[in-house]
Amino acid sequence: MSADKRAVPVAYLDHGATSWPKPQPVIDAVVRALTELGGNPGRGAYAMALDASRAIFEARRACAQLLGVADSRDLLFQSGCTAGCNLMLKGTLKPGDRVVVGSMEHNAVARPLAHLARLGIEIAVVKADRTGLIDPDDVERAVRQEPTRAVVCQHASNLTGTIQLVGDLADIAHEHGAIMLVDGAQGVGHLEVDIAALGVDAYAASGHKGMLGPQGVGLLYLAPGLEADVQIEGGTGAGGSESLEMPAERPDRYEAGTANTPGIVGLGAAAGFLAGEGAAQRDLEADLARRLHEGILGIEGFRVLGPPPGVPRVPIVSAVHERVDGDRIAFVLDRTYGIAARAGLHCAPWAHDTVGTFECGAVRFGVGWGTTGAHIELALRALHEIVSS
């Protein structure tokens, strides 16, 4: 088969965008949902519908256990982390509020905040350093300047792999009467996330990245007592249908419409898989990302973005070359070597501007489930040959 007709990459290194392949328990759970759980959960008292409702309940509980959430009703299923970020931000912030936010945010946060700014919410951006790290002292100074409703920060960068000091930022926010809102798209799975220990008020998570679930499903944690304005209204499985108001109780208040049963059940299976295999997988990812990082630094002309070797990061390694454009590198990696990587701005123009790559972008490699040492060696050999030709 010619390279331009290759359907499956030889080396998939785009886990920062989505994980692939999925662990077999996730695939099996999705297949079971499609073949055995066809009823509409919460919408009927017949056996198939009840089985679907029970499967969703169990998936929510598995996700809550993985993330350290005491009451699974505080964990809401969303269509993805982007939907969770929109509910988290638009549902809790009002005109006149002030928000302190880091400069490394993905567009899943930056664009909703831009919308809110047009409605009268003040946005104060704290710039990270060139490695992508936000200094908690800078955040504290920003929060002290004026009354602040919320501190908003990602858990880890989809560009540099930088892990933010979320727990410290949450402490600062709470000391000054603000709430802490976190975009955890790159956190769960690649990091051991304990939401209770972090002390955050809201945490949006992707289901299909490091968590290894299907696409089209994500999570949003809302702390007890923190309510968000409902963004989508409609049918739910709770209470009577006679009221035109959404039910008050969680999670039904925030989950209008027919649930994505296959996605949710698959996500629950992924949570169970990570509960058993997650620690070993994180160790492997860290080792492979380190090897890739150090190997790229050994190729003349490359600069690797983010923390230096030896500083923990999620397994994302982005690089720029002094002579060869990142788009060209990614194209040749795919067409000649069968390596899936992503070039460009990665839906994170703030982050690229922060680290000085807004004009040129970068080529990004994401390590994850299924990545092997052979994939890393192939990528390093390919990069050397591309920039040497």
- Catalytically active residues, by annotation: 347
Give CA–CA dist 273/22, Å, rounded: 11
Tokens coding 146: 């004026």
Largest CA distance in the chain: 70
Describe the chain by its helix, strand, coil percentages, rounded to 5: 40, 15, 45
Strands 122-126 and 98-102: parallel
Give CA–CA dist 251/229, Å, rounded: 13
Radius of gyration of the chain (CA): 21
Contacting residues for 328 by C-beta, under 8 A, at least 6 apart: 386
Give CA–CA dist 148/85, Å, rounded: 19
Give CA–CA dist 39/26, Å, rounded: 20
DSSP state of 190: T
- What phi and psi values does residue 302 have, to the nearest 5 degrees? -95, 145
